[in-house]
């Protein structure tokens, strides 16, 4: 059984203000939860419809009915388990290597996918503007498929950070230089802009190198790429020399 108070608490965590208030977030699905259990994230409580997760102590685990899981799930079709974790203290920004900076990314799926891409390409640091969607949004957590536990995420005033970093700052623009014709360094900050408006004017002024993914289609009428897709191409090109 899940008490009414537990249901109220868990469902409230779908909203950022309650996640901040309680310093808690939740994840759903065996793979994501297993990844988080094997990381530094601290488990608050696990709710499961099956007798699994033997590594979790009984006082932090509840066996519940599918109907109860549906009441606390954020998914259209509830999975078999949901776990509540404590939000860790934010770490200092790693200002070295290749850093991805996000300027007002609003779609949870995009942020989750970009986190997975950072994990895949070995990018240790993701810096988000304060307007970017919350990384502990359930849809973001779900989309990361566990990569949230292996990438350092920081929310900062992006103007301040870019003004102070010693790394070269790259920005993605439609009129930038062809990324395939550039000799790209192994260290730098790559700024990815908002889904609808791209990089904001105040951040654009801090970009030192404008880069672009060229269009190869005959008609060239596609206005832009999805920001997560663009991030994948750009990270691949930055890391290509290391392959």
Q: Does the structure show a pLDDT above 90 at 229?
A: yes
Band (pLDDT 50/70/90 cuts) for residue 77 is confident
Which pLDDT tens digit goes with each residue over 104-162?
999 999 999 999 999 999 999 999 999 999 999 999 999 999 999 999 999 999 999 99
| pLDDT, average across residues 198-209 | 97
The pLDDT assigned to 216 comes to 86
Which of 1-5, 21-25, 161-165, 183-187 is predicted with the least confidence, judged by mean pLDDT?
1-5
The pLDDT assigned to 219 comes to 63
pLDDT: which is higher, 157 or 221: 157
In this prediction the pTM is 0.94
| pLDDT, average across residues 28-42 | 95
Please report the DSSP string for the chain in residue order.
---HHHHHHHHHTTSHHHHHHHTEEEEESHHHHHHHHTSSPPEEEEEESSS--TTS-GGGEEE--HHHHHHH--SSS--SEEEEEEPPPPPPP--SSEEEEESS---HHHHHHHHHHHHHTT--EEEEETTSPPTTSHHHHHHHTTGGGTSEEEEE-HHHHHHH--S-EEEEEEEEEEGGGS---SSEEEEE-BTTTBS-HHHHTT-SEEEEPPP-SSS-------HHHHHHHHHHHHHGGG-
């Amino acid at each position: 059984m899940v008490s009414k108070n537990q249901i109220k608490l868990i469902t409230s965590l779908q909203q950022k203000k309650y996640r901040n208030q309680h310093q808690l977030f939740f994840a759903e699905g065996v793979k994501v939860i297993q990844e988080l259990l094997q990381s530094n994230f601290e488990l608050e409580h696990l709710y499961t419809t099956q007798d699994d997760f033997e590594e979790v102590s009984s006082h932090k685990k509840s066996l519940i009915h599918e109907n109860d899981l549906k009441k606390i799930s954020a998914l259209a079709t509830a999975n078999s388990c949901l776990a509540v974790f404590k939000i860790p203290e934010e770490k200092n920004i790693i200002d070295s290597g290749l850093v991805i900076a996000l300027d007002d990314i609003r779609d949870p799926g995009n942020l989750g996918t970009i986190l997975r891409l950072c994990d895949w390409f070995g990018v240790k640091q993701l810096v988000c503007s304060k307007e970017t969607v919350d990384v502990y949004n359930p849809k973001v957590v779900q989309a990361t498929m566990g990569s949230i536990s292996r990438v350092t995420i920081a929310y900062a005033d992006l103007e301040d950070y870019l003004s102070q970093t010693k790394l070269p700052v790259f920005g993605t623009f439609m009129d930038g230089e062809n990324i395939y014709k550039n000799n790209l360094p192994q260290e730098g900050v790559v700024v990815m802009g908002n889904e609808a408006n791209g990089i904001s004017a105040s951040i654009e002024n801090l970009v030192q190198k404008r880069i672009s993914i060229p269009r190869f289609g005959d008609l060239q009428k596609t206005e832009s790429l999805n920001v997560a897709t663009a991030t994948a191409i750009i990270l691949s090109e930055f890391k290509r020399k290391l392959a």
